[in-house]
Amino acid sequence: MLFILTKAQVFSIDLIIGIIIFGSAILIYYKSATNLSDQDEALLDDLLIDAKTISSSLMSQGYPYNWSKDDVVRIGISNDNRINETKLEEFSMISYKESRKLFGTIYDYYVFFRGRNNNIISFNESLEGVGKPGVNSTNIQTVENPKKLVKVTRLVIKDLDIAKMVIYLWY
């Protein structure tokens, strides 16, 4: 005796194809999400390396030893682990484009100092810090809206007192 089923039952082929399509979509999504985070991590690594390089350069004496804005090869604002005010003033007079070239970075930067009680120590009467024009220590997030931002802080001796040199680098 032969039984004929009147209700359709779709199990094997349609279900397997559906699972394969759904699984492929999930796999593609997670693979692309992982690649994006790998790219972000590489960008952050580049930013951090450049920020540390700029920090090391600034903490050196620079080249030549008594450089000025006209003959500088490597920017350095320190002599005997103390901030040299003359070199700091010369650094502030170097154009932003030229300083980025001397630091060897393609990213934007801003350098400033904070005192023991976290107050801003100005470079001079009219200048809070040095870096991208139009930026200061409080408006980087609002003016620039960076995709990635790194901060490097170094303890320095400035004006016979301990201070923090803060370097922001962003993309």
Per-residue pLDDT tens over the stretch 66-121: 999 999 999 999 998 899 999 999 999 999 999 999 999 999 999 999 999 999 99
In the chain, beta strands by DSSP E: 78-79, 82-83, 108-114, 120-121, 129-131, 149-158, 161-170
Could you tell me the pTM of the whole model? Answer: 0.78
Q: Which of 56, 76, 79, 60 has the alpha carbon at shortest distance from 68?
A: 76
